[in-house]
């Protein structure tokens, strides 16, 4: 099976790589005739970038496959610059475009000249976490910073339309059809990176094309939505030692633009916003924000933070928003003994159910302590401890104590280390102790939810710089316990890396075995890199995982992944004749 797999992969690999290998060699040769190394010329037309093609062949024996049998990703980045002008762009092309509803084949261009920066094609702009904050779009954007002004604008498509696919729905019931989503935004601000004030306005809407609503199936409807968000982001130095940061906004989100609009008598306080967003029976008005007060003095860094975001806060300009949360807390970091001892500790409290619409209110306390002791470069240790205290209080209903959540989740990691040796041989030794628990303080549920996970490990590395090689080995002991299962195991690992003197060829290999009372696991990794002419390289990696279960409820399986990656980088400068 493995021989057939490798033969098939090599056949596909040669077919896919040959055109790009020939193109890259041609590009390298052509540029060598008319270009010089970029480091020797300061004010010339510069061209630099990279090209890469990754091919992956995969199979699983014994259980369901976790990925497609063959996949590839072709990507490139190119930057053309001269003086203050810069024109970077890149693209990604993948076979996954055929299997997913949103595009994986993307092209983006980001020209830049002095205080002007533009975005063309696939881009993302991060102005505020409450309006436009990193969602990718296909369109145009512009940012200008003349003197102390902070200006920007964008327009593009955030999501393309996905038609109803009855066959695809049967394979993945969670795959919803969707409307095309477009949006625009602008930013007006004043200041610099350490002191500024920005006003952000974002508008997004789905295009229904006269066919709303979409039927996902015979019972579920997908409606076109519309969104308007207004945000303010600022940073103000109160003094040389104190800084204040704030980011917050208001979002008006209509889940169904076909729903009837509200009458004047029904709008009440919402009437204030009707001039920027049409109000319907499905419109929610939400607000949220977070603030930080930072104090720095003589090696001490103290931060006090707070966050308040209403339930269901969302905008079309962000991917995810942690909403229905009110949190506040602090962190304090300092060092002493000439920074040989560094301490960081803090406490954060948060709760949900801000509008008292949930049946219960969940409250969490999150203390943390971090200690790093490094008396010298040869030895030291790190300690990290944190905990999550979680309890529930009555919300819309009164809950019996037998069902009320009341638990803690402490975790601690201690990492001593030691280094010794010289330029010919260098040794590193590291120990790791980790313990994570869930302690249920509810006597009625403790027997079913408590668990403990403990790991002891030791890893040793021997480096031989003069031989361009290194070796490593490790041993670990794991113990996982809950009311139903106790899994105890021991594992061994080893590996090596070796390069030629000119660093043009590198070979790596590693093996891991893990034995427990529930399963045995064997993992093999092998790889190599060959540097070619004209800044080209070829990487080959093979991974084999064999899992033998001792429990009849779980399948044994073998997973094989073979990957070949070709890459080329280039960096040239052209003189005027």
- Please report the pLDDT score of residue 77 as a whole number: 86
**DSSP class per residue in 504-524:** SEEEEEEEEEEEESSEEEEEE
Amino acid 34: pLDDT: 36
Q: What is the pLDDT of residues 277-328, one digit of tens each?
A: 888 888 899 999 999 999 999 889 999 999 999 999 999 999 988 899 999 9
Q: Which of 74-78, 162-166, 188-192, 432-436 bottoms out in mean pLDDT, i.e. has the lowest?
A: 162-166
Does residue 14 register a pLDDT over 80?
Answer: no
Confidence check: pLDDT of 576 > 80: no
pLDDT on residue 12: 42
Distance CA 315, CA 128 (A): 11
Say what percent of the chain tops pLDDT 90: 58
pLDDT digits (tens, 9 = 90+) for 319-374: 988 899 999 999 999 999 999 999 999 999 999 999 988 888 999 999 999 999 99
Between 161 and 214, whose confidence is greater?
Answer: 161
Sorted by sequence, the CB contacts under 8 Å of residue 401 that are 6+ apart come out as: 442, 444
pLDDT at 112 exceeding the cut of 90: no
pLDDT at 398: 81
Q: Where are the domains of the chain?
A: 115-319, 324-454
| Pair 52, 569: CB distance under 8 Å | no
Question: Is residue 186 a contact partner of residue 192, using CB atoms and an 8 Å limit?
Answer: no
- pLDDT above 70 covers a percentage of the chain that reads 84
- pLDDT of 24 reads 40
Q: Per-residue pLDDT tens for 518-533?
A: 999 999 999 999 999 8
Name which residue leads in pLDDT, 269 or 521.
Answer: 521
Average pLDDT, the chain: 85
216: pLDDT strictly greater than 90: no
| pLDDT > 60? residue 489 | yes
Tokens for 444?
Answer: 């009625």
Q: Which two tokens stand for residue 524?
A: 């093999």
Q: Which two tokens stand for residue 41?
A: 């010329």
If you write DSSP's letter for every residue of 163-222 in order, what string do you get? Answer: ---HHHHHH-TT---B-EEEEEEEEEEEEETTEEEEEEEEEEEEE-TT-PSEESSSS-EE
Using one digit for the tens of pLDDT, what is the confidence trace for 379-413? Answer: 999 999 999 999 998 888 887 777 788 999 999 99
Two tokens, residue 315: 């905008």
Q: What mean pLDDT is predicted for residues 119-129?
A: 92
Kindly state the average pLDDT of the residues 520-548: 95
Average confidence (pLDDT) over 184-198: 95
């Amino acid at each position: 099976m493995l021989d057939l797999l490798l033969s098939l992969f090599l056949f596909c690999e040669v077919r896919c790589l040959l055109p790009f290998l020939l193109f890259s060699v041609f590009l390298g040769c052509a540029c060598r005739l008319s270009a010089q190394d970029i480091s020797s010329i300061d004010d010339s037309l510069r061209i630099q970038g990279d090209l890469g093609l990754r091919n992956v062949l995969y199979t699983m024996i014994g259980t369901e496959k976790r990925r497609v049998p063959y996949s590839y990703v072709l990507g490139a980045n190119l930057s053309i610059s001269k003086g203050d002008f810069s024109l970077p762009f890149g693209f990604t092309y993948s076979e996954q475009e055929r299997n997913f509803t949103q595009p994986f084949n993307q092209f983006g261009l980001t020209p830049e000249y002095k205080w002007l920066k533009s975005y063309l094609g696939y881009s993302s702009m991060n102005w505020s976490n409450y309006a436009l904050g990193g969602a990718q779009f296909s369109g145009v954007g512009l940012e200008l910073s003349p003197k102390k002004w902070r200006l920007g604008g964008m327009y593009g498509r955030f999501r393309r339309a996905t038609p109803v696919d009855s066959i695809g729905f049967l394979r993945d019931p969670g795959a919803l059809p969707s409307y095309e989503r477009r949006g625009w935004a602008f930013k007006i601000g004043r200041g610099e990176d350490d002191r500024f004030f920005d006003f952000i306005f974002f508008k997004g809407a789905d295009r229904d094309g006269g066919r709303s609503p979409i039927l996902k199936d015979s019972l579920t409807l997908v409606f076109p939505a519309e969104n308007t968000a207004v945000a303010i982001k600022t940073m103000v130095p109160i003094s040389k030692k104190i800084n204040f940061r704030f980011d917050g906004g208001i979002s008006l989100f209509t889940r169904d633009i076909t729903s009837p609009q509200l009458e004047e008598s029904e709008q009440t306080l919402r009437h204030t916003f009707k001039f920027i967003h049409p109000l319907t029976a499905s419109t929610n008005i939400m607000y949220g924000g977070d603030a930080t007060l930072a104090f720095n003095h003589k090696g001490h860094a103290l931060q006090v933070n707070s966050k308040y975001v209403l339930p269901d806060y969302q905008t079309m300009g962000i991917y995810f928003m942690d909403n229905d949360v009110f949190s506040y807390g602090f962190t304090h970091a300092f060092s002493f003994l000439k920074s040989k001892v560094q301490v960081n500790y803090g406490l954060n409290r948060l709760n949900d159910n801000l509008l008292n619409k949930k049946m219960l209110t969940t409250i969490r306390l999150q203390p943390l302590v971090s200690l790093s002791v490094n008396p010298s470069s040869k030895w030291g240790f790190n300690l990290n401890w944190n905990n999550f205290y979680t309890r529930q209080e009555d919300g819309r209903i009164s809950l019996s104590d037998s069902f009320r959540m009341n638990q803690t989740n402490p975790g601690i990691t201690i990492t001593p280390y030691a280094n010794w040796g010289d330029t010919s041989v260098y040794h590193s030794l590291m120990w790791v102790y980790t313990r994570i628990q869930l302690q249920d303080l509810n006597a009625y549920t403790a027997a079913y939810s408590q668990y403990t996970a403990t790991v002891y490990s030791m890893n040793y590395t021997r480096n031989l710089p003069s031989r361009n090689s290194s070796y490593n080995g490790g041993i670990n002991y794991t113990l996982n316990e809950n009311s139903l299962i106790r899994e105890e195991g021991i594992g061994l690992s080893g590996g090596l890396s070796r390069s030629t003197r000119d660093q043009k060829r590198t070979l790596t290999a590693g093996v891991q075995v893990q034995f427990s009372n529930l399963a045995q696991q064997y993992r093999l990794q092998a790889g190599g890199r060959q540097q070619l002419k004209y800044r080209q390289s070829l990487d080959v990696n093979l991974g084999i995982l064999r899992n033998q279960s001792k429990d009849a409820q779980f399948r044994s399986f073998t997973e094989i992944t073979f990957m070949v990656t070709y890459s080329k980088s280039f960096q040239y400068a052209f003189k005027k004749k």
